[in-house]
């Protein structure tokens, strides 16, 4: 995990910590979603090998719909993880570019905040 930069304000560090926690949570949720997707794919393979075609087709439709939902969920989670990673990099880059002012107390080194993309 990346470290804070010396020029980050307390507010930025707090925001960065929240983003990191959100990123970790999203990554964990993504891992669970991938496991569910793999479970459904395994179930789909079993359904394809069933002898009873009528039951197989009904189950196949259900499993394919669930698999599609998991795919959509995974895509959204991947987008969220990428967006959080990008926001963290931007925040760090912004803090690195700001000159450090040794006399200024933390939290007042910058008059501006991060972009308005953070979610509460």
Digit-coded pLDDT (tens) for 73-105: 999 999 999 999 999 999 999 988 888 766 555
Mean pLDDT computed over 58-75: 89
Contact 84, 26 (CB under 8 A): yes
> Does pTM surpass 0.85?
no
DSSP string, 43-100: HHHHHHT-S-HHHHHHHHHHHHHHHHHHHHHHHHHHHHHHHHHHHHHHHHHHHHHSPP
Digit-coded pLDDT (tens) for 9-29: 899 999 999 999 999 999 999
The whole-number pLDDT of residue 33 equals 92
User: 3 or 98, which is more confident?
Assistant: 98
Is the pLDDT at 56 greater than 90, yes or no? Answer: no
DSSP 3-state of 105: coil
């Amino acid at each position: 995990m990346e470290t804070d930069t010396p020029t980050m304000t307390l507010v930025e560090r707090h925001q960065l910590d929240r983003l990191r926690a959100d990123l970790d949570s999203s990554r964990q949720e993504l891992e669970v979603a991938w496991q569910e997707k793999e479970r459904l794919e395994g179930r789909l393979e079993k359904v394809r090998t069933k002898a009873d075609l009528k039951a197989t087709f009904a189950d196949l439709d259900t499993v394919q719909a669930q698999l599609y939902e998991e795919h959509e969920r995974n895509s959204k989670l991947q987008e969220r993880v990428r967006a959080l990673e990008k926001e963290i990099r931007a925040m760090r880059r912004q803090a690195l570019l700001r000159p450090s002012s040794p006399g200024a107390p933390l939290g007042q080194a910058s008059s501006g905040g991060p972009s308005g993309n953070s979610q509460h």
